[in-house]
Structure 1
Amino acid sequence: MLLASVLGVLMGLVMGLTGAGGGILGVPALVLGLGLSMTQAAPVSLLAVGAAAAVGAIDGLRHGLVRYRAALLIALLGAMFSPLGVFLAHQLSEKVLMGLFSALMVLVAWRMLQREKREAGPSDHGAASWGQKNCMLDHQTGRFAWTAKCSATLAALGAVTGAVSGLLGVGGGFLIVPAFKQLTDVQMRGIVATSLMVVSLLSLIGVVGAFHAGVSIEPVGWAFISASIVGMLAGRRLSSVIPARTLQVGFASLCVLVAIGMLFKAGLTS
């Protein structure tokens, strides 16, 4: 129980520091640290990620940072495609799921390091000076200009995020944050807050589906979930004092290490 609490705090801490990207660490923490299977870990991870993200999203709503219409559209499409991911997860072997998860973590790490290397100062302040984005803010109203291109872009993002969320038991923040940064001119604080709202909605929808299918969560899982909320609160406070470059490189390195551990675990189960 103590180990579950420590791992939960660490996952929530990374989520708070990275803008929901740390949610991808939930499944590895449960599989490698607590010995759960991928299918057992997925609903626990989703509920932990969803609860922790909801705390951050509420804080973002209070400060007017959440693009709630965009978040609701992404979550709606995500909810529609999440069952497809859940169905596929039950058709694949444990070894294949671990391999897919490891590949995803390496991709996330590579994207994060590449973004740090090549984007020396793009749109962190809401100014699309480096090219037209798919979704642009109306600078008079401060809201998205809801063109067909913008709506289709956010809908597609929601579909992909929902399918991956259902398949691997992750919230999807690691997809939403870089996608929003590349496709919109929203400020980074708004991107993080909007991502947290989407992740909370998608995760909780996934958990409801898992409970409906008869999945139950053991006490050790509830300890992990509760601790993740504490970690999120701490991470939100620390995020303003740790340099962004340090966070990105550190998180990318951690993703690679965890991916190696997942591959090793998959080899042992073969």
Structure 2
Amino acid sequence: MLTSLILGAFVGAVLGLTGAGGGILAVPALVAGMGWPMQEATPVALVAVAGSAAIGALEAFRLRLVRYRAALLMAVVGVPLTSLGALLAHAIPQRVLLALFATVMLAVAGRLLSQALRRGRPDRAHSRFCVGHINPNTGRLVWSWTTGIALAATGALTGLMTGLLGVGGGFIIVPMLRKVTNVSMHGIVATSLMVIALVGSGGVVATVLHGAPLPLELTLWFGLATAAGMVAGRLASHRLSAQHVQVGFGGVLICVALGLMAKAALGR
């Protein structure tokens, strides 16, 4: 139990420091710390990440930052895809899953480090792929078929990766919404948290239905430690440079990814 508390506090602290994307460390932490296969770590990690995301989403909802219609569309499309992801996770060999997870982590680390290096430089006004625009008069998202399709595709990919790898999906949702909408960054992160909470909950159900065990007592302690760590991480984040946090998080992801690659290569 002590190990699960330490791991949960670590994952929560990273979540608090980095936002929605920090949940990507939950599964590797359980795989390395508890010696579990990925399929066993997935539902426990998702309970903690989805619960923490729900807390953040409720706070953001109170501040009227959540684009709840967009979040609901992504969740409606994404939740059924978690079942397909869980099915694939049980069909794919453990070594391949570890290598795939490590590849995803390296891609996320590369994007974070690239953003940190560009910090301070002027950004382009909007992405050329932007199809969802905010009406300046109402402050609401203007809906169209292309907007709906872009958001649905984002939700589908999020659901698939949630069921397959046990990740919250913030590393998918945030960059995708930045590409396809001109919603503010605060609104994107808030909306991402709501999607993670909903799709992550669906992912827990899907993975359990596909045979993954869910030790209730350990899951409870891991989840509580994650929530406590997240609060501490948020408090610490106000005193740290966002650029330094990004660089540090990117470095941690690279180290963990290399460890997973080694584990996959050695077959342990």
TM range (shorter): over 0.9
CA drift at 1:129: 5.6
Instruction: From the superposition, tell whether residues 189 and 165 of structure 1 become closer, same or farther in structure 2 (CA, over 3 Å).
Output: same
Q: Tell me the distance in 1 between the aligned counterparts of 2:182 and 2:155.
A: 18
The answer to whether the Cα contact below 8 Å between 2:78 and 2:156 also exists between their aligned partners in 1 is yes
Query: What do you get for the CA RMSD once the two structures are aligned?
Result: 1.8
Between 1:232-241 and 1:254-263, the stretch displaced more is 232-241
The answer to whether the Cα contact below 8 Å between 1:32 and 1:265 also exists between their aligned partners in 2 is no
Q: Tell me the distance in 2 between the aligned counterparts of 1:141 and 1:162.
A: 31
- Structure 2 SS opposite 1:133: coil
Q: Tell me the distance in 2 between the aligned counterparts of 1:170 and 1:48.
A: 11
Report the equivalent of 2:54. Answer: 54
Q: Give aligned-pair identity as a percent.
A: 45
Between 1:14-23 and 1:26-35, the stretch displaced more is 14-23
Q: Tell me the distance in 2 between the aligned counterparts of 1:261 and 1:121.
A: 36
> Which residue of 208, 229, 251 maps to 1:253?
251
Instruction: From the superposition, tell whether residues 129 and 29 of structure 1 become closer, same or farther in structure 2 (CA, over 3 Å).
Output: closer
Q: Tell me the distance in 1 between the aligned counterparts of 2:240 and 2:70.
A: 29
Q: Tell me the distance in 1 between the aligned counterparts of 2:126 and 2:106.
A: 30
Report the equivalent of 2:123. Answer: 122
Report the equivalent of 1:229. Answer: 227
Report the equivalent of 1:268. Answer: 266
Does 1:147 find its partner at 2:144? yes
Query: Aligned partner of 1:97: which letter?
Result: L
> Which residue of 86, 109, 131 maps to 1:134?
131
Q: Which consecutive segments of 4 or more residues in structure 1 shift more than 4 A?
A: 129-132
Q: Tell me the distance in 1 between the aligned counterparts of 2:26 and 2:247.
A: 19
Q: Deviations over 1:28-74 (max 9, x none)?
A: 00001111111100101111110111111111011111111111111
- Structure 1 SS opposite 2:12: helix
TM-score by length of 1: 0.92
TM-score by length of 2: 0.93
Q: Tell me the distance in 2 between the aligned counterparts of 1:210 and 1:90.
A: 9
Does 1:169 find its partner at 2:166? yes
Report the equivalent of 1:98. Answer: 98
Instruction: From the superposition, tell whether residues 243 and 93 of structure 1 become closer, same or farther in structure 2 (CA, over 3 Å).
Output: same
- Consecutive unaligned residues of structure 1, counting only runs of 5 or more, are none
How many residue pairs were aligned? 266
Report the equivalent of 1:35. Answer: 35
Q: Tell me the distance in 1 between the aligned counterparts of 2:236 and 2:183.
A: 22
Report the equivalent of 1:8. Answer: 8
The answer to whether the Cα contact below 8 Å between 1:19 and 1:195 also exists between their aligned partners in 2 is no
CA drift at 1:238: 3.2
- Consecutive unaligned residues of structure 2, counting only runs of 5 or more, are none
